[in-house]
Structures are given as C-alpha cells and as structure tokens.
Amino acid sequence: MKRNAGLAEDRSLGKHCPMPQKSKPDSLPLFIVPDRPDFSIEAELSAKGIWPVAGIDEAGRGPLAGPVVAAAVILDPDNIPAGINDSKKLSHVKREALFSEIMQTSLVAWSAAPSQEIDDLNIRQATLIAMVRSAHSLPSIPAHILVDGRDVPLPLAGKGQALIKGDARSLSIAAASIIAKVVRDRMMTHADKEHPGYDFAKHKGYGTKAHREAIHALGPCPLHRKTFEPIKSLLAR
C-alpha cells in the first residue's frame, strides 16, 4: 500500500517546476486556527464524492545541510491513528510511534530533494518539485490534494488546495508533516555517520551555533547547501 520516493536523487521531472498556482484566498484573519487538526475538510470533500484526498507537507526548508523532504498521505477515514498533530508539536517518541501507525494504516509516499538540487534550483522550487514527486508516487491517484502553505505546485493545480497553517487544520497534512519530519531526521542521523564532526544527528542540519562552528572548523561537506550562508561566503574565499 505504501511507496517511497526520493531516498536516492530523483530528477525525473526535470530542472524546473512551473510557477505555483495560487489557490482560493485563505487568509489567517478569516478563520480561527483550531487547537488540533481535524478531518472536517476531508470529510466535506468526501461527502461531495471527492475521494481520495491527500495531504502534503514538507520538512527541511531552513537547514544549512541535507535534503528537503516532502510527503503525501491519504488517510483511511475508518482507521485514523489517534494523536496526529503538527509534527513540530510532538515529541520525538510520539512522532516515531505515529510514523509507524500512519505507515501501517495509510497510503504514503515521500520524495527528497538533495542539497545539490536545492542549490541548482533554489529551496522554493526544490520543495515544490519534491511535493509533486510525492503526490505522483502515491499508490492511488488522489482526487483532491491539500497542500500546507500558500501555493500549490502548478502540476497539481487542477486538484490542489493550499491551506495556510494546514498542519494545524487538516489531519491529512499533519500526517504528512510527521512522515516528512521522521524520514528527514532519519536521513540526517545516517548522515552523521558518513560525515562525522558536524553532529548532524543532533541538530539535523539546522544552523545552530555548534553547527556553524563546525562548518568554520571543518569546512562544508557534500551535504551542505552551497547557496546558503555562511557556506556560500566560505566557498567564495
């Protein structure tokens, strides 16, 4: 039921992702963000005969090293794991437990855009491409796609809907946020063994003080994003 994409570099969709499609206005002042995500958006679509519905989210736009990972999830309405929430609001132990439950009960796919692809395109374009690849890798073709953020990648525009703070509103997007976060964290833990000295297992590539000090002491490794500061300036010397 589950397919994984992006564990190795995948550029099958080419170098550039067309400009994203703006969805219907979805401005934060127009609604109150719930304390926890729910399934109301998906249920409303299902009641109209629009199913399956996939949620898409990403992890890793901000780090100085490693990939950006996008995940797509189609939840089983009759078997939704309890406790799904925005991955940032969950402990490591809870994320790992929910990751296993989501993988066992849902249709899941993910794609990783590596640092080289991020440098070649830019982080926004690389993220959009990873989102498209994850959606296209799902075992079932979604009739509708809920995307966290303001933009829907153009290849998904015909069936896509952008939701600001979507991981706080939609269980499908929140589930995708968990998959993306756990997959990326595991990648960076593995990277720590291949590139010792940077402590990737601890900070997952984010720009902590210790990480920046390691970059200055050791220089960047192949996982570092060469278009991100301070790596860009170091390489220009």
Which residue(s) pair with 1 in the sheet?
A: none
Read off the pLDDT band of 144 (50, 70, 90). very high
Query: 3-class DSSP state for residue 145?
Result: strand
Burial pattern 195-225, b for ≥16 Cβ within 10 A else e, equals beebebeebbbebeeebeebbeeeebbebbb
* pLDDT of 26 higher than 60: no
Q: What is the pLDDT of residue 35?
A: 84
Q: Mean pLDDT across the chain, nearest whole number?
A: 90
Q: Considering only CA atoms, which of 64, 43, 86 is closest in space to residue 173?
A: 86
* pLDDT of 158 higher than 80: yes
Both structure tokens of 128: 């959009």
Both structure tokens of 43: 């249920």
Query: 3-class DSSP state for residue 164?
Result: coil
| Fold of the domain built from segment(s) 21-236 | Nucleotidyltransferase; domain 5 (3.30.420)
Read off the pLDDT band of 28 (50, 70, 90). low
Q: What angle do CA 38, 159, 25 make, to 5 degrees?
A: 65
Q: What is the pLDDT of residue 34?
A: 74
Residue 19 identity: M
Question: Averaged over 157-161, what is the pLDDT?
Answer: 94
By DSSP bridging, strand 68-74 and strand 53-59 are antiparallel
CB of 212 within 8 A of CB of 230? yes
Q: What is the pLDDT of residue 42?
A: 98
Q: Where are the alpha helices (DSSP H) in 15-108?
A: 40-47, 92-105
Range from 2-6, 95-99, 154-158 that averages highest in pLDDT: 95-99
Min mean pLDDT across 28-42, 159-173, 176-190, 217-231 is at 28-42
Q: What is the pLDDT of residue 57?
A: 98
Query: Which tops the pLDDT comparison, 5 or 160?
Result: 160
* pLDDT of 139 higher than 90: yes
Put the strands of the sheet holding 107-113 in their side by side order.
Answer: 107-113, 68-74, 53-59, 144-148, 160-163
φ, ψ of residue 163 in degrees (nearest 5) = -130, 115
| pLDDT digits 0-9 by tens, 62-111 | 999 999 999 999 999 999 999 999 999 999 999 999 999 999 999 999 99
CB of 158 within 8 A of CB of 21? no
CB of 154 within 8 A of CB of 18? yes
Distance CA 9, CA 30 (A): 40
* pLDDT of 157 higher than 80: yes
